[in-house]
Amino acid sequence: MPADKALRWAEVLDAYRVWPRGLITMYGLVAVKVTYWFMTLPDPNVAQSAFVSTVWGASAAWFGLYVNTGRNWKE
């Protein structure tokens, strides 16, 4: 692959933020799956509820990283 074509692909991937969008989507799916798991438990205990709270708390951090990073358009 020529260098200029690879550079164009890199710029497209950067502009559309493919990796960050994929990662935030995957984490969203994990958070929803954990929530469904928790809701199906007959008698959840404190450790299980702490686990779900941690997963959802971390999702706020993931979302914050997603929206506050990216290409600097002030160039």
In the numeric block, the tokens 């160039």 are attached to: 75
**CA separation for the pair 12, 5 (Å, rounded):** 11
Q: How far apart are CA 26 and CA 74, in angstroms?
A: 30
Sign, CA dihedral 41-45-46-47, equals negative
pLDDT tens for the chain, 75 residues long, are 677 888 888 888 877 888 888 988 999 999 999 999 999 999 999 999 999 999 999 998 888 888 887 666 555
Segments making up each domain of the chain, as ranges: 3-67
Cα–Cα dist 71/57, whole Å: 26
State the pLDDT at residue 25: 92
pLDDT for 58: 92
Structure tokens at 40: 């199906």
Name the pTM for this structure. 0.73
